[in-house]
Amino acid sequence: MQLEKELPSPAVLCGGVPASKKTEAVEEQMLKFLDGRTHGEELLHALYDHVLDEPIPERMRALFQAGSAD
């Protein structure tokens, strides 16, 4: 798989996603995952950890507070 080195990281292209703070480039992590050398845990953290910092919308909180809808 050939990756363009001039392009920004795929994580940055998602819009609003901060650049990975890891020393290893996201592209390298992707290649290791696709080659089967890792299970992709670092890659998933680099791509999606910012989502965990987002607040839960009030409408969704209200659903949880009201209980489950059967």
For residue 11, the Cα-to-chain-centroid distance in whole angstroms is: 7
Torsion sign, CA atoms 32, 36, 39, 44: positive
For 40-61, the pLDDT digits (tens) are 999 998 888 889 889 999 999 9
Q: Where are the domains of the chain?
A: 22-65
List Cα–Cα distances, 55 to 32, 45, 48, 50, in angstroms. Answer: 32, 18, 14, 11
Rounded to two decimals, the pTM is 0.45
> End-to-end CA distance of the chain, in Å?
47
For 6-33, the pLDDT digits (tens) are 555 555 555 555 555 555 688 899 999 9
Distance CA 55, CA 12 (A): 21
Distance CA 70, CA 59 (A): 18
